[in-house]
Amino acid sequence: MTPELVVAIIVTVVGASTPILIAALGELVVEKSGVLNLGVEGMMLVGAITAFVVAFTTGNHYLAILLAAAAGVATSLIFGFLTLSLSANQTATGLALTIFGTGFSALAGQGYSARPVTLLGPLFPAELAAHPVWRVLFGYSALVYFSLVLVVAVWWFLKKTRAGLILRAVGENDLSAHSIGYSVVGVRYAAVAFGGAMAGIAGACFPLLLTPQWAERMTAGRGWIAVALVVFASWRPFRLLAGAYLFGLVMTMELYAKAGGGPLSAIPAELWAAMPYIATIVVLVLISIRRDASTNAPACLGKPFLPSS
């Protein structure tokens, strides 16, 4: 393998990993507050179509990302209202949110398929970004650098700030947090909205970073993989980074296999396409064999907060 090929592979892996990483970091914060939102896939699709339409009509990529985040927040607030204000079942509501997001994005995307947008360009000047070797560090768009900063920011927020401590307290013991005067529902609303914003941006990665077009269900289960990665990473941001890049590698192998690249194409293309999902099961199983994965789960995860009962 030439250095150029290695660089090309790394660049592809980073791109494929970025949406999963952003969505998973959002879901990690949501789950740390004690809420399980299974609607990530739906919120990502709403973000993807929003980003596509804005980029298509205005040509402004950063506005597209911003509005995709806003659309993700709006979608997440449906979930927040049902589960936090009305204490509806979180599993069922999350599933309903994914069905809603799939339907909404397909409806809003009518007539936009097969229309092109341009991908978001690299952040750094062309001398660095297009350099055959140095593009491994400088050849990415702002979304990629954002995802890396986000890893550190989420870690720092949860570990080092007072607000992060309160959020974790709400997720570990909601009744105690309530009795010392913190607004459990308020904190969880904020976390759910943050998760929605990140899912929206993760969705925006699909038309702006990966394939410059809109296609129904274009997130193809990546939102669910993000949910699985949070378990895989035992709710730790840096482990999430490693997990997301591992998945990016699997997806990149699929791309190379489809392009007819040597030994990889000996395996049927369909098996390569199924690989990320099989890999998800395998890593979930491996992490559970190694130790009880649920020990690090927030104690109140998925349980409604009912102070009066």
Partner 1 sequence: MMQFRLEKRPEPSRTVLYAAPLVAVILTMIFGAIIFSVIGYDGVGAVREIFLTPLTNSFKWQDLAIKAAPLIIIGVGLSIAYRANVWNIGAEGQYIMGGLAATWVALATHGMGGAWILPAMMAAGILGGAAYAAIPAFFKTRLNVNEILTSLMLTYASVQLIYYLVRAPWKDPMGMGFPQTRRFAAEALLPNIVPGTIVHAGVPIAIVVALIAWFVMSRSVFGYQMKVVGAAPHAARYGGFSENRTIWLALLVSGALAGFAGALEVSGPFQRMVPGFPTNYGFTAIIVAFLGRLNPLGVIFAGFIMAITFVGGDLAQTTIGLPSAASGIFQSMMLFFLLAGDILVRYRLKRVAPQEARA
Residues in contact with partner 1 by the rule CB under 8 A: 38, 78, 81-82, 86-89, 91-93, 95-97, 99-100, 102-107, 110, 216, 220-221, 224-225, 227-228, 231, 268, 270-271, 273-274, 277-278, 280-281, 284-285, 288-289, 292-294, 308-309
Q: What is the nearest approach in angstroms of partner 1 to the Cβ of residue 287?
A: 9
Q: What is the nearest approach in angstroms of partner 1 to the Cβ of residue 231?
A: 6
Smallest CA-to-CA distance from 140 within 301, 12, 283, 293 is with 12
Of 158 and 230, which CB lies nearer to partner 1 in the complex structure? 230
Q: What is the nearest approach in angstroms of partner 1 to the Cβ of residue 127?
A: 42
Of 10 and 293, which CB lies nearer to partner 1 in the complex structure? 293
Q: Which residue's structure tokens are 């949860």?
A: 158
Of 7 and 20, which CB lies nearer to partner 1 in the complex structure? 20
CB 12 within 8 A of CB 258: no
Of 18 and 105, which CB lies nearer to partner 1 in the complex structure? 105
Q: What is the nearest approach in angstroms of partner 1 to the Cβ of residue 174?
A: 18
Of 10 and 227, which CB lies nearer to partner 1 in the complex structure? 227
Q: What is the nearest approach in angstroms of partner 1 to the Cβ of residue 150?
A: 23
Q: What is the nearest approach in angstroms of partner 1 to the Cβ of residue 309?
A: 7
Of 10 and 297, which CB lies nearer to partner 1 in the complex structure? 297
Residues belonging to the chain: 309
Provide the sign of the torsion angle of the four alpha carbons 138, 144, 150, 152, taken in this order. negative
Q: What is the nearest approach in angstroms of partner 1 to the Cβ of residue 148?
A: 26
Smallest CA-to-CA distance from 36 within 26, 46, 50 is with 26
Of 144 and 250, which CB lies nearer to partner 1 in the complex structure? 250
